[in-house]
């Protein structure tokens, strides 16, 4: 989405990235509170560093090769 909140939550809880995005968009169509929650999470969640994202990408690729 805008700030990567859904992607960050998906990575933290080991979910596919489209799952939280779909739920967010679905609930945002009917309620206004998900947009407010998204903005609050955008402010309080730490930003992912480049080193962390590279390390996570390498681990993800290694795991997919092992399967």
Q: How do the pLDDT tens digits run along the chain, 67 residues long?
A: 577 888 888 888 889 889 999 999 999 999 989 999 989 988 888 776 655 667 777 888 888 887 6
The pLDDT score that the predictor gives to residue 62 is 86
Residue whose C-alpha is closest to residue 41's, from 26, 24, 55: 24
The pLDDT score that the predictor gives to residue 29 is 92
The pLDDT score that the predictor gives to residue 50 is 57
The pLDDT score that the predictor gives to residue 26 is 93
Domain that holds residue 21: 5-66
CA dist list (Å): 22 to 27, 35, 56, 57: 9, 13, 23, 22
What is the Cα–Cα distance from 13 to 37, expressed in whole angstroms?
A: 18
Q: Tell how far CA 33 is from the center of its chain.
A: 18
Number of domains composing the chain: 1
């Amino acid at each position: 989405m805008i700030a990567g909140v859904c992607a960050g939550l998906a990575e933290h809880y080991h979910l596919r990235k489209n799952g939280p995005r779909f739920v967010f968009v679905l609930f945002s169509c009917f309620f206004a509170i998900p947009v407010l929650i998204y903005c609050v999470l955008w402010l309080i969640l730490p930003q992912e560093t480049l080193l962390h994202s590279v390390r996570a990408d390498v681990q993800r690729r290694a795991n997919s090769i092992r399967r």
